[in-house]
A and B are shown apart, each in its own frame.
Chain A
Amino acid sequence: MGLQVGSNPMSMDAIAALLVERFAGELEDVRIQEPDTVVARCAREKLKDVAARLKADADAGYETLNWIAGVDRETGFESVYHVYSWKTNTYLELHVDLPRETPEVDTVTGVWPAADWHERESWDMVGIVYLGHPDPRRILLKDDFVGHPLRKDYVDLAENHPHV
């Protein structure tokens, strides 16, 4: 019948080896974080394609997006995707580096519908632009808020709050 948790159990080493083999040249720095997470890096140009193939993978199948976090690295930005595989009952943490001047990356809402609000939140808080997002509005802050507060160089000015 329906959805089962861990229908295709695999060891962490096997999953990491599988990802290295099937995504050679796309996923970099693949390492295991105990107990159940594989951490990897991906170039931003390849993200959309990699995401679609990660989801469709017959053995691992990262079908659910858990969350997206935007991180300000001062020299650049990082968009972190945390996805869950029902088949193996493990997680993948995908880091995508973005340059400081153009923090832009393709949206993954077409692959994982759950990305919609998480990408909006990341844009709202850190100012990462998700190209092709269907509804790129702010989500937690007011529509007329100025700036992105979770950036390390953000300065809180009265002008940022027109209605307060």
Chain B
Amino acid sequence: MYDQFESPEPDEAVKLALRRIDEATARGEGSDVDGLAFNEVVVNMGPQHPSTHGVLRLVVTLDGELVKDVIPVIGYLHRCKEKLAERRTYFQYIPIVDRTEYVASINCEWAYVMTVEKLAGIQVTRRAEFIRVITGELMRIASHLVAVGTFTADLSPLGTAMVFYMFRDREIILDLMEELTGARMMFNYFRFGGVRYDLPDGWTSKCRDYLQKFPKMIKEYEALVDDNAIFLQRTQGKGVITQQDVIDYGITGPNARASGVELDLRRSRPYSVYPELDFEVRTEQHGDIFDRYRVRMDEMRESVKIIEQCLDMLPKGPVQVGSLRAPYVITPPPGSCYVGQENPRGEFGTYIESDGSRYPYRLKYRDPCFCNLQIFPKLLSGNKIADAVAISGSIDLVLGGIDR
């Protein structure tokens, strides 16, 4: 066996990969052909690899071009968020939740704020609920644009055109959000019982303008890749997630819906004003890379529909309960609760235990990417290394959420 890790000392993940090769060889499953002493190579992919979209490290065992085994190594972006929560008041913690999954940060804020509201029994004003749905769905579109854009960029030069179009359109959403919240990505916008600011003058008409143009842009993206032979060859029938995988590994979000599972927390565990809104849960049947891409494209259309309805139904009234200072100090009664929310990547939730003080006793994240990443070894094994890049792109990982 060829050991390229003689110096420095290999870490636990690499040792595990080497040990597994030895075990496979001992079982007689090694691919020792043509009298070569070795055939399998352990390759370290990441953490600074462009196609991992962050600091994901994969220890890949290769047999020629074939992936035999994958060991994901995470934690390079760990920021002790759960520990930080224990030293901060509920209110002080809101901006930190933003940084958890930074591509759709408003949805993370939403999950955290909903959990605390449930623990403390705070009612949200109706206008604020609609504003929350509008911002949440805008960020869902923005997040899917990043997901699909970077994924196509991994696949082929054609995708590099796509990623520029998509980031161009995402920028308009970020501008809208900046006008509303004062920040492009780290919003710190949700408050217990409402949101921080009301919509500024003229914001709704700008938003409507965008929603009118955006479906045409989706058509443009689809024209670029949907009938492209290279794109189809690289995506159809590859990296299939079966419904059994969805059950076993707790896959959620577009990745589960691409396998024909109608699991959408906006429907199955309704929150906010979603029960009043008319939208479809878009699914596909095959569960391959192409279907995951298709589900995201369809969901963007649904999001546009949802935002338009919210803008039509938007009631008048306050966006915050009581005076603005009221929710700064919150002491929920002792108890625990978990609330999950449909993040663009799946179920994002926080489990909070309160001991009746101003600080959470324990806060735990349920992150969709963390759960979706678990299926990587199963999904990538047996594929070519080039497909591994395509598959990992289609799962849409955000390492900030995984490492926390």
Does B358 touch A at the CB level, under 8 Å? Answer: no
Q: Tell which of A82, A84, A113 touches B248, judged by Cβ atoms closer than 8 Å.
A: A113
Q: A89 on the interface (CB 8 Å rule)?
A: yes
> CB of A149 within 8 A of chain B?
yes
Tell me if B362 counts as interface (CB < 8 A to partner A).
yes
A141 → chain B closest CB, angstroms: 6
In contact, B262 and A4 (Cβ under 8 angstroms): yes
Say which residue of B263, B370, B404 sits within 8 Å of A5 (CB atoms): B263
A36 to B83, CA, bound (A): 28
CA of A84 to CA of B75 in the docked complex: distance in angstroms?
27
Q: Is the CB of A140 within 8 A of B337?
A: no
The answer for the CA separation of A141 and B338 in the assembled complex, in Å, is: 25
Q: How far is the CB of B100 from chain A (nearest CB, A)?
A: 13
Choice from B11, B80, B366 contacting A67 with Cβ under 8 Å: B366
Shortest CB distance B25–A (Å): 20
> A residues within 8 A CB of B82?
125, 150
B247, A82: Cβ atoms under 8 Å?
Answer: no
Q: Which of A18-26, A42-50, A58-66, A100-108 contacts B (4 or more CB under 8 A)?
A: A58-66
Given A114-B371, A150-B83, the answer on whether A5 and B248 have CB atoms closer than 8 Å is no
> Looking at chain B's contact residues, is the secondary structure mostly helix, strand, loop, or mixed?
mixed
Q: Do A3 and B268 touch (CB < 8 A)?
A: no
Give complex CA distance A131, B10 in Å: 26
- Chain A residues near B248 (CB, 8 Å)? 64, 112-114
- What chain B residues lie within 8 Å of A142 (beta carbons)? 75
Q: Are A140 and B374 in contact (CB under 8 A)?
A: no
Q: Do A82 and B351 touch (CB < 8 A)?
A: yes
Which B residues from 134 to 148 make CB contacts under 8 A with A?
A: none
A93 CA to B374 CA, complexed, in Å: 22
A80 to B, closest residue via Cβ: B351
List the A residue with the shortest CB-CB distance to B249: A114
Asked if B351 contacts A3 (CB within 8 A), the reply is no
Nearest B residue (CB) for A4: B262
- Contacts known (A86-B247, A114-B374); A2 close to B260, Cβ less than 8 A: yes
The residue on A at minimum CB distance from B80 is A149
Q: How far is the CA of A37 from the CA of B370 in the complex (A)?
A: 23
B337-353 residues at the A interface, CB under 8 angstroms: 337-338, 340, 347, 349, 351, 353
Whether, in the assembled complex, B246 has its beta carbon less than 8 Å from a beta carbon of chain A, the answer is: yes
> Within the complex, which residue of B75, B260, B268, B353 is in contact with A140, where a contact is CB–CB below 8 Å?
B75
Determine whether B40 belongs to the interface, using a CB cutoff of 8 Å to chain A: no
B116 within 8 A of A: no
Kindly count the residue-residue contacts between A and B in the assembled complex, taking CB atoms under 8 Å apart.
Answer: 89
- Which residues on the B side are within 8 Å of A117 (C-beta)? 370-371, 373-374
Interface size counted on chain B using CB atoms at 8 A:
39
Residue of B whose beta carbon sits closest to that of A84: B250
What residue in chain A is nearest B404 (Cβ atoms)?
A: A140
| Alpha-carbon gap, A142 to B340, bound state (A) | 29
A71's nearest neighbour on chain B, judged by CB, is B362
| A149: contacting residue among B83, B371, B403, CB under 8 A | B83
**Cβ-defined partner of B250 (8 Å) among A66, A91, A139:** A66
**What chain A residues lie within 8 Å of B370 (beta carbons)?**
117
Q: How far is the CB of B161 from chain A (nearest CB, A)?
A: 36
| Chain A positions within 8 Å of B260 at CB level | 1-3
B230 at the interface (CB under 8 A from A): no
Q: Give the CA-CA distance A71 to B360 in the complex, in Å.
A: 12
| CB-CB under 8 A for A36 and B269, given A71-B353, A149-B80 | yes
Interface pair A139/B374, CB less than 8 Å apart: no
Contact A143 B12 (CB under 8 A): yes
Residues of chain A contacted by B224 (CB below 8 angstroms): none
Q: Is B384 an interface residue (CB 8 A)?
A: no
What per-residue 1/0 map shows which CB atoms of A1-34 lie under 8 Å from chain B?
Answer: 1111110000000000000000000000000010
* Max chain B Cβ within 10 angstroms of own Cβ: one of A36, A89, A114, A135: A114
Are A5 and B351 interface neighbours, CB within 8 A?
no
Residues of chain A from 138 to 159 with CB closer than 8 A to chain B in the complex: 138-143, 149-150
Find residues 318-376 in chain B having any chain A CB closer than 8 Å to their own CB.
337-338, 340, 347, 349, 351, 353, 362, 364, 366, 370-371, 373-374
Given pairs A89-B269, A125-B82, A138-B12, 17 additional interface contacts (CB within 8 A): A5-B261, A5-B268, A63-B247, A64-B246, A66-B340, A67-B349, A67-B364, A69-B362, A80-B351, A82-B351, A113-B249, A114-B250, A117-B371, A137-B13, A143-B12, A149-B83, A150-B83
- The 3 closest A-B CB pairs, nearest first, are A140-B75, A69-B364, A67-B366
What are 17 A-B pairs with beta-carbon distances under 8 A? A2-B261, A3-B246, A3-B260, A4-B262, A6-B268, A37-B338, A63-B247, A82-B366, A89-B269, A114-B248, A117-B371, A117-B373, A117-B374, A135-B16, A141-B78, A142-B75, A150-B83
Binding site for A on B (CB under 8 A): 11-13, 16, 74-75, 78, 80, 82-83, 243, 246-250, 260-263, 267-269, 337-338, 340, 347, 349, 351, 353, 362, 364, 366, 370-371, 373-374, 403-404
Contact residues of A with B, CB < 8 Å? 1-6, 33, 35-37, 63-67, 69, 71-72, 80, 82, 84, 86, 89, 91, 93, 112-114, 116-117, 125, 135, 137-143, 149-150
